[in-house]
Amino acid sequence: MISELDVLAMDQADPLASRRAGFALPSDKVYLDGNSLGALPRATPQRLLEVLQEEWGEDLISSWNRHAWIELPQRVGEKIAPLIGAGPGQVICCDSISVNLFKLLAAALQMRPGRQLILSASDNFPTDLYMAQGLSALLGESGCRLQQVAESSLEDSLDEQVAVLLLSHVNFRSGRILDMQRITAAAHAAGALVIWDLAHSAGALPVQLDECDVDFAVGCGYKYLNGGPGAPAYVYAAKHHQAPLQQPLSGWMGHRNPFAFDPHYEPGEGMQQFLCGTPPILSMIALDAALNEFSGLTVAQLRSKSLALGELFVDLVAQSELAAMLVLYSPAEASERGSQLAWSHPQAYGLCQAWIERGVIADFREPDILRVGFAPLYTGFADVWVAVESLRAVFAAQEQLDPRWQQRPRVT
């Protein structure tokens, strides 16, 4: 039996414990939803105030040069690169995952003439599928088709029709990690390119884009990277794919010389060609500031803590009456899971709401998933203890059956 004292000892022994002080967490809550929206770094408000008052307020338009706003997409990209196993000059911060996927899908199709298929998992995060559907509707079935198959059938479905394989590294619902190295090699063996979505992996577990010979990737800034609500996303393109591509969202920031005001588009070199419109500087500054919280840490340290937090949650469930009520939807083997756990229960929505009322923030995912995320920078072992004890109390009082939880609001 693991006791509360054991758990407190885990926090005391945690080499990352001091990092928690860098985040402004509410004292009366346990936050297990950093995989939806990362917490606020304490340094972010001050940095944004500086940019507002000293840069925008004082130096106005000249800040694009004087404070190097114009280079912010590249600078933030280079800060993200070590978290995803990318060497320099391959990552740039811009737009949203959705918009970036459109750029990459269209470019990848152009790179594989004669092939029209985008292959993806039917349980991929919906916006990834939607963007492929949008491109397909625009180009027509003869130009682009999306094939959605079960995760388990992906490799068998790779053939000479597949132009690009579009996958999430970690499944948003189950937390299952796909084998990036093996699947990328299989795609390449079939002549296809790969695009990996790192939304649920970057910042919490190892990602080795260069080592896995990945072609392209996207990821978001607002989950484990803590860049704030709707923080800008990023694009990775392997060096050998950086000759000018046919990226259709060819806005002026991607032009080789935006301020020449040339009426004809000429793509910029390297990652610049993935830029489109003027970037939202304030949101990007918040992401830039948040990335400092990773300084001095290795991804291996993050993963090690993340695994320990997940294991503790699983063990505490197993040693309590919860074991008879919750079914683990995530892979049983910790090494196959990202930094989250999904549990099935017929009243998952009510459980989530009742849990939130007791101060534990988790989330619900259709149809019956209670999902908890562990942000190794700031989630503590005691958080896990309190969360499990609260969930036991919810069940003990049958709070999940409260009539208030019969109707689901738009966002949970």
Distance CA 152, CA 200 (A): 19
Distance CA 64, CA 60 (A): 8
Closest CA to 91 of 235, 287, 275, 304: 235
Q: Which residues pair with 216 in a beta bridge?
A: 195, 237
**Nearest-approach distance from CB 95 to its own copies, in angstroms:** 7
Of 115 and 365, CB closest to its own copies: 365
**Nearest-approach distance from CB 38 to its own copies, in angstroms:** 9
The catalytic position among 23, 102, 172, 222 is: 222
Of 233 and 388, CB closest to its own copies: 233
**Nearest-approach distance from CB 122 to its own copies, in angstroms:** 6
Of 251 and 270, CB closest to its own copies: 251
Q: Is residue 355 within 8 Å of 390, Cβ to Cβ?
A: yes
Of 9 and 21, CB closest to its own copies: 21
| Amino acid of residue 223 | K
Of 299 and 371, CB closest to its own copies: 371
Q: Is-catalytic flag, 14?
A: no
| SS3 (DSSP) at 170 | strand
Q: Is-catalytic flag, 239?
A: no
Closest CA to 213 of 190, 237, 245: 237
For residue 369, CA distances in Å to 122, 127, 199, 408 come to: 17, 19, 19, 14
Distance CA 104, CA 13 (A): 43
**Nearest-approach distance from CB 241 to its own copies, in angstroms:** 18
**Nearest-approach distance from CB 158 to its own copies, in angstroms:** 20
| Beta sheet of 369-373, edge-to-edge order | 327-328, 340-344, 369-373, 363-365
Distance CA 103, CA 252 (A): 15
The catalytic position among 128, 197, 363, 383 is: 197
Q: Which residues pair with 412 in a beta bridge?
A: none
Quick one: tokens of 340?
A: 């989250």
Which is it for strands 369-373 and 340-344: parallel, antiparallel or unpaired?
antiparallel
Of 263 and 403, CB closest to its own copies: 263
The catalytic position among 115, 173, 223, 305 is: 223
The catalytic position among 23, 173, 371, 383 is: 371
Q: Which residues pair with 194 in a beta bridge?
A: 165
**Nearest-approach distance from CB 400 to its own copies, in angstroms:** 18
The catalytic position among 125, 294, 313, 374 is: 125
The alpha carbon torsion through 9, 10, 11, 17 (nearest 10 deg) reads: 140
Q: Which residues of 234-268 are buried (b: 16+ CB within 10 A; e: fewer)?
A: bbbbbeebbeebebebbeebbbeebeeeeeeeebb
**Nearest-approach distance from CB 353 to its own copies, in angstroms:** 11
Which is it for strands 340-344 and 327-328: parallel, antiparallel or unpaired?
antiparallel
Of 87 and 126, CB closest to its own copies: 126
Q: Kindly state the helix (H) or strand (E) to which residue 79 belongs, with its residue range.
A: helix 72-80
Of 10 and 233, CB closest to its own copies: 233
Q: Is-catalytic flag, 172?
A: no
Q: Is-catalytic flag, 358?
A: no
Distance CA 358, CA 120 (A): 38
**Nearest-approach distance from CB 48 to its own copies, in angstroms:** 6
Q: Is-catalytic flag, 79?
A: no
Which residues are part of the catalytic machinery? 125, 197, 222-223, 371
